[in-house]
Each structure stands twice: as structure tokens, then as C-alpha cells.
Amino acid sequence: MSEESIRRPGGRSARVRAAVLDATLAELADGGYDQLTVEAIVARSGVHKATLYRRWGGIDGLIADVLSRSVEQPWQVPDTGSLGGDLHAITRLIYEGFTDPEQGAIPRNLIVAALRSSQAAQALTGFFETQHGLAAEVVSRAVRRGEVPEGTDAVDVVRTACAPLYYRLFVTGEPLEEEAAGRAAEAALAAARAGAFLPRERPA
């Protein structure tokens, strides 16, 4: 949206954007969901309120922008040599990313904030599409190795591994322990091996 469509990528616009995004993350870090107010961001960044509304349209657009920015920073897809190892590594990454006592609050609050706005929710959809696409690579490799049957829906394996973590964190509000993350990976692995992610043939 507000990627490189800026007419003047020179100093000022960039500085303002950086200031606002930094302030947003900072606010997200110590504050949380409810404290993420335009006033606070304006106060912290020193940018005028009207400017923020003009460029982002409000909190929603701001969160969406933060999200789309985080997509641009790719991560290293694990490659341990086995599907089980890779899935465990992925769920562990998620687990650590969200539960780290210091840095975990930022992504956690970011997702929560994104869930609270229709506009940002769309950005979230794109975010996960990207992440799923990247992560699906571990399944493709496993198919090539013959670990799981050909025709296995790679993205669905990833979804199955990740879903329980997000489910706990953001839907049911249950605590997320390390063991739960491991189990989710284990379950996805077992299901994939059993062929649960093959295109179904009969309506059952």
C-alpha cells in the first residue's frame, strides 16, 4: 500500500515514517492492545496527528503497514534433513517468537492488534500466505525424499503444525508451553505420514 508509492522518498517522508513505525512498535512493546492509541504514537513520535491520519488513515492502516513491513524481512526456513526436525524447528521458532519474556510481547501484541481491525486483518491474511508459502518448502523436500506420500498438500501440513499454537495464543487464550509446540509438530508429522493431507477421493 504505502510501500514505494511515496512521491518523495527523500529525507522527510522517510523520517516521518520511521519515527511513526518506531513509535508504534515501542508502544506495542510496553503497552499492549488497548494502549495502542493514535495520541500515544503522536506524542512519542512527535509527528502531527493530522499527518498520521493522512498517510495511514488511522490505527488500522498503521498496523497493516507494520505488518506488511515485517513480511519483507524473510526468515531462514529450517532444513534439518527430516520433516520431523523441520516441523519441530518451525513450531519452536513460533513458540520462541511469541513467548520470549522480552521481545515476545511485540509480535504478540501486533497480531492481537491486527485481529482487531478489518483492514489490518487483510494484511494479516497476506502475511500468513507468505509465511505458509515459505514454510511449505520443508514439506516439498520431504515429498522428494519419500518421507511423505506424493500429492501431500504441503501448505496444509504447515497449517496443521502452526494452527494449534495460534489457536492457543489468540483464540482460546490458553497458555502456550514448549511441549504443546512440540506436540503440534509431532501431530502434523504423523498425519502427513499417514496420508491425511492427500486429496480425498471419496466423500467419506
| Residues at the site binding DNA, with contacts judged by CB under 7 A | 6-13, 16-17, 37-39, 46-51, 53-55, 57-59
Residue 143 sits in the site that holds a copy of itself (CB under 8 A):
no
Alpha-carbon distance of 133 to 170, in angstroms, equals: 22
| Cβ proximity of 118 and 60 under 8 Å | yes
| Cβ proximity of 108 and 30 under 8 Å | no
The listed partner (a copy of itself, DNA, none) that binds 93, CB under 5 to 8 Å by sort, is none
- Determine the 3-state secondary structure of 146 from DSSP: coil
The grid cell for 17 is: 515514517
CB of 16 vs DNA, minimal distance in Å: 4
Q: Which of 60, 65, 21 is nearest to 44 (CA)?
A: 21
CB of 51 vs DNA, minimal distance in Å: 3
List of residues contacting a copy of itself (CB under 8 A) = 33-34, 88, 111, 115-116, 118, 121-122, 124-125, 128-129, 132, 153, 156, 159-160, 162-164, 166-168, 170-174, 179-180, 182-184, 186-191, 193-197, 200, 204
